[in-house]
Chains A and B, each alone.
Chain A
Amino acid sequence: MKNYGEFTDEALILLLKEKDKLAFTEIYQRHWHMLYLHTFKILGDEDESKDLVQDTFFNFWEKSGELQIKTNLKGYLFVAVRNRIFSLIRKRKVNPDFVDIVMEELNQLDNTTVEHINERELIKLIDAEIEQLPKKMKEVFELSRKEFLTNKEIAIKLNMTEEAVKKQIHRSIRILKLKLGNYAGISVVLISVVYDRA
Chain B
Amino acid sequence: MEHSKQDLDRLIDKYLSDEATADERNMLEQSYMKASFKTPMNDVSDDDAARIHKIGTDSWEILIEKINYMGTRRSVLWPRIVAIAAAIAMVVFGVYLFTNDKVRNANDILITNDINPGTNKATLILANGKRIFLNDQAKGKLANESGVEITKTADGQIVYQVKDDYTSDSGNPAKMNTIQTPKGGQYQIKLPDGTHVWLNSASVLKYPVSFGASKERRIELTGEAYFEVKKDIRHPFIVKSSQQEVTVLGTHFNINCYAEETTAKTTLLEGSVKVNNLLLKPGEQATIGAGKALVNSVNAEKALAWKNNRFVFENDDIKQVMRTLQRWYDFEVVYEEGITTEPFWGIVSRNDRLSEVLKYLELAGNVHFKIEGRRVLVTK
Please tell me if the beta carbons of A82 and B44 are within 8 angstroms of each other in the complex: no
The answer, yes or no, to whether B323 is at the interface (CB within 8 Å) is no
A41 to B364: give the CA distance in the assembly, Å. Answer: 44
The answer, yes or no, to whether B243 is at the interface (CB within 8 Å) is no
Can you name 19 extra interface pairs (CB under 8 A) apart from A41-B36, A58-B63, A113-B26? A19-B89, A21-B93, A54-B62, A54-B63, A58-B66, A58-B67, A86-B16, A99-B8, A103-B8, A106-B8, A116-B22, A117-B33, A125-B37, A140-B44, A155-B345, A159-B302, A160-B97, A164-B94, A168-B97
The answer, yes or no, to whether B23 is at the interface (CB within 8 Å) is yes
B31 neighbours in A (Cβ, 8 Å): 102, 105-106, 109
Chain B interface residue count, CB cutoff 8 Å, equals 68
B240 to chain A, nearest CB (A): 32
A101 to B66: give the CA distance in the assembly, Å. Answer: 36
B341 neighbours in A (Cβ, 8 Å): none
| Contact A111/B1 with A25-B60, A101-B39, A161-B346 known, Cβ cut-off 8 Å | yes
B345-369 Cβ-contact flags toward A at 8 Å (1 or 0): 1110000000000000001100000
A50 to B253: give the CA distance in the assembly, Å. Answer: 29
Tell which of A6-14, A30-38, A66-74, A174-182 binds the partner: A30-38
The answer, yes or no, to whether B104 is at the interface (CB within 8 Å) is no
A104 to B353: give the CA distance in the assembly, Å. Answer: 71
B190 to chain A, nearest CB (A): 30
A135 neighbours in B (Cβ, 8 Å): 43
Q: How large is the interface on A (under 10, 10 to 19, 20 to 34, 35 or more residues)?
A: 35 or more
| Contact A115/B314 with A101-B35, A149-B57, A163-B363 known, Cβ cut-off 8 Å | no
Q: Which residue of A lies closest to B89 (CB)?
A: A19
| Contact A102/B315 with A32-B56, A87-B16 known, Cβ cut-off 8 Å | no
A148 to B57: give the CA distance in the assembly, Å. Answer: 7
Residues of B bordering A, CB below 8 Å: 1-3, 5, 7-9, 11-13, 15-16, 22-23, 25-39, 41-46, 49, 52-53, 55-57, 59-64, 66-67, 70, 89-91, 93-94, 97, 101, 299, 301-302, 312, 314-315, 345-347, 363-364
Q: Which residue of A lies closest to B344 (CB)?
A: A161
A144 to B41: give the CA distance in the assembly, Å. Answer: 18
Please tell me if the beta carbons of A42 and B36 are within 8 angstroms of each other in the complex: yes
B5 neighbours in A (Cβ, 8 Å): 99, 103
Please tell me if the beta carbons of B41 and A41 are within 8 angstroms of each other in the complex: yes
Closest 6 A-B residue pairs measured CB to CB? Answer: A134-B43, A161-B346, A105-B31, A114-B26, A101-B35, A140-B49
5 residue pairs A–B, Cβ–Cβ below 8 Å: A54-B63, A61-B67, A86-B28, A105-B32, A129-B37
A156 to B345: give the CA distance in the assembly, Å. Answer: 7
The answer, yes or no, to whether A46 is at the interface (CB within 8 Å) is yes
The answer, yes or no, to whether A76 is at the interface (CB within 8 Å) is no
A101 to chain B, nearest CB (A): 4
